[in-house]
Amino acid sequence: MTISFIYKAFRSLKIKLYSPLYTPIAKFLLYLNDVNFGENLKVRGLIKVIVTRKGSLTIGNNLSINSGNNYNLIGRQQTNTFWVDGELIIGNNVGISTSAIICKYKIVIGDNVTIGGNTVIYDTDFHNLDPLLRANKENDMITAAKKPVFIQNNVFIGAHTSILKGVTIGENSIIGACSLISKNVPSNEIWAGNPAKFIKKI
């Protein structure tokens, strides 16, 4: 009992000591990557930000991020990652947990969007579908298909969802957990599954 009490007290103390550091570290990392970000950024855990010389990342007010093993414990934890070689725009009042957003072309996330843990958003195929072009490592990613992704206002995305290139998710829509979104989702609808299908109107 005594050992358990000491362990739990140490764990609680560790979180209290580290928690105030995460947001300043994130702001510094965003600054180093030349990211424009708004007020009231809140980050729990360490994040990964890679913005290339061609890339652009803009973040609105009140972005909240959970990242890593100690926050939003729903399994499959990862470091929240932004990898930007295109244009990534994140609106106001957005919440993101342990997710990866990989932007080679253009991704726009609207206001009041919630992105559940372990979600991935890709605007590229990463590799060319032609095996001859794919065999050339230098041209493979360069020639891979890219299409923009638009996630409109008030969207809720369940945990472990994959959102692929060329997709628009309409306002107020809900995506069920573990879904694969490979085509447009109209506004005010619930979609879920792999591949995701219409469930019902909201």
Report d(CA 71, CA 56) in Å as an integer: 27
Write down the pLDDT at residue 1. Answer: 64
What was the pLDDT predicted at 143? 87
Q: For position 130, what pLDDT does the model report?
A: 86
Contact yes or no for 158/177 (Cβ under 8 A): yes
86-98 as b/e: b if 16+ CB within 10 A: bbbbbbbbbbbbb
Which pTM was predicted? 0.90
Q: Is 127 known to be catalytic?
A: yes
Which pLDDT does position 75 carry in this prediction?
65
State the Cα–Cα distance between residues 199 and 201, nearest whole angstrom: 7
Residue 71: what pLDDT?
67
Q: DSSP code of 51?
A: E
The closest of 138, 143, 178, 141 to 162, measured between CA atoms, is: 178
Distance set, CA 152 to CA 41, 94, 188 (Å):
20, 11, 11
Residue the block writes with tokens 């939003």:
72
Residue 137 CB contacts under 8 Å (≥ 6 apart), including other chains: none
Q: What is the CATH number of domain 22-201?
A: 2.160.10.10
pLDDT digits (tens, 9 = 90+) for 120-137: 999 999 998 888 888 888
* From 127, 180, 182, 190, the catalytic residue: 127
> What is the rounded distance in angstroms from the CA atom of residue 116 to the CA atom of residue 158?
5
Instruction: Show the low-confidence residues of the chain (pLDDT under 70).
Output: 1, 10-11, 14-15, 69-76
Residues 140-151: tens digit of each pLDDT: 888 889 999 999
Residue whose token pair is 């298909």: 145
Return the bridge partners of 149, or none: 107
